[in-house]
Structure 1
Amino acid sequence: MLTLTLVSLSGWSDIVERLGQPTAHKVWHALVALLSQNGQSGLKQDIFELGELWFETDQFDSLAQAERALSQRVAQHLLHELDCQLVHEAEIQVSSAQVTEQTSQEQTIRAGAACALNELYPDSKEDLLRVFANKNLLPYWQSIQLVQSSGVFGYEALIRGPKASSLHRADKLFGAAMAQGRQFDMEKLALTTHLATHQGQCEQQSTVRLTVNLSPALLFDADVSGALLDYPYAHLLCIELTEHLPVDDWAPIKAKMAELRQLGYTFWLDDVGCGFFELTLINAVKPDVVKLCITIISRLDYGAEIIDEIRQVVDTVHLYGGKVLAEGIETQQQLAIARELGVDYAQGYLFDKPREAGL
């Protein structure tokens, strides 16, 4: 059965206003590119101004199946590009009709659109509640390698749900938390899990540097502030500020960073080049380490333009005394280019995959 399906983001105009046109266009083009990679999705038309994605495909046996599959596909791809809260605010809606020889059905389909986001994780609520009740998260570590010399600088802390659970994968875990409006609660639970694991490692085995992810807004959370103020190994902890939401005013964040730096913490900017953290912000914030987005590193082999962009970032960061990390290194050629560009640290499957902490 040939179906025509509209997946619309009814809150898209508000998101464009918050992100600004340039960043919103980047997000939109990345979303369209991801959807286009799947030839079976049947993406027929995308309308940025309206936040509309139109699919025409014979892949599905019913309208309900088409609506469920395509709306979930859009939501999953959006989660790679936007913060969970923004995906929720996008208000993903979906409607379908069987393609016939009749005149245009677009207006009818638009009128029948029904909210679909809450159906993305329909069976995860109970599993999520158990995770919170039992504080049942698994910390994983992935090494951070020195590029200009050999050796390990430290590790990045990653989080997983229970192994036997549908929420074991990080995208499922945080996606389910977002669907229930508890993404910040999940981030805080992940932080306390990482702090406990790191402290145990430092006290029982050997001291090691660890990076942990944190949204800038959570620096002002009372629980997070208390945990960071009391942590005895602050000088070994690097706080990666994640780029999920645009920040309107960095002044109070920079003031908080200065306070925590007095305790020994260092600050990194995560995923530079893929979202809201750009060159002007690097100059303003001057993070200790800038992490280049994994998407940029994956394009290292494709030409001089991206190499020139990375060189500009490296030169800018080195000028004020910071360091640069390339994330997602998978080949010796990528590592060689990163070394030639003056990149300081690297992560990726070329070195190792994330492993459960302590194993």
Structure 2
Amino acid sequence: MRVFNCDHCGHLVFFDSVRCLHCGSTLAFLPDQLTMGALAPAPQRGAQFWQRRGCGEHVAADAPFYRMCRNHTDYDACNFAIPAEDNADLCPSCRQTRRLPDLSQPANLGRWKQIEAAKRQLFYTLARLGLEPAPGQSGPVFEFLAEWPGSPQVLTGHHAGTITLNVAEADDAERAQRRVALGEPYRTLLGHLRHESGHFYWDRLVRDGGGLVAFRTTFGDERADYAAALANHYARYGAHGDWQSQHVSSYATAHPWEDWAETWAHYLHLVDLLETAASYQTRVTVPHPQAAQQHQITDPFADPRPSFDDMVGQWVPLTLMLNSLNRSLGQSDAYPFALSGGALRKLRFVHDLVRAVGTRRPPG
């Protein structure tokens, strides 16, 4: 995701910023504009209203009015603002969450805040792709649930438009334990949400969008017994053969639905990281004794938008540099994957489908 500048003083600010450290302006993300805005109180409109400041000393009379999301006001858990004419008290991201754990428990409150932060990042990327709000409705429904003694196990997953996440995934130690137990090289809150959103958009874009024939040619027949496929996957844990030649991850071999969701998540990884690097005007030089190769990272949302081949050509050296930087700090690889020709073919399928839908539906 890109970095932003305070539209009052020009100082660098970030997607999750709530105050400009240079000029002190209150900041909020404006989902109707897909940008950060510096806001000033607007008592002439009402106690809860704000107005976009702009770069002058005085707020323009015609500057748009906003209200803060109720989760910002009540819990300090959101930095999205709502246009004044929108009667909802929750922002477009927060209103998608329908069930919460018991927030009177401090641990649950902290976990929920982390999950909502990851969900807002997902919302941003989907909106930039022209997919949020989702075709035909406002987007997926989210349920963030906690286990308690005697209660059923909470499984992270997607069913009929609802994405469920066990809030324990917000605990670093718990998530790391599960990552090791399942043999996963990568496990993050944002990764979970991206993966599960893939199941949601498979329903909307592939099943309901007339893409089943092309999907089956690329990923396989999703009509295969899903429960049996998952049971077989975990039964042969650690013995998945040469999955790298056709899949982005070992888990993607379990079933065509999981192959799609893993590929979808990787595509969102690719788009988000390229946008971040492009906003810093990153140029990557891959050392070579005869002829070093230089790659200028291009914003994937630039006009005209780069081709899939150009994006992949920039992605590979960028992730090499990213992993090298992580190792310099004694950390594991941030992107512990190597994309094969078979995996890239599936990523291209996702790219082409998203581009086709996004060009018909303007972002935001």
If the length of structure 2 is used for normalisation, what is the TM-score? Answer: 0.27
Q: Which has the higher helix share?
A: 1
Higher strand share: 1
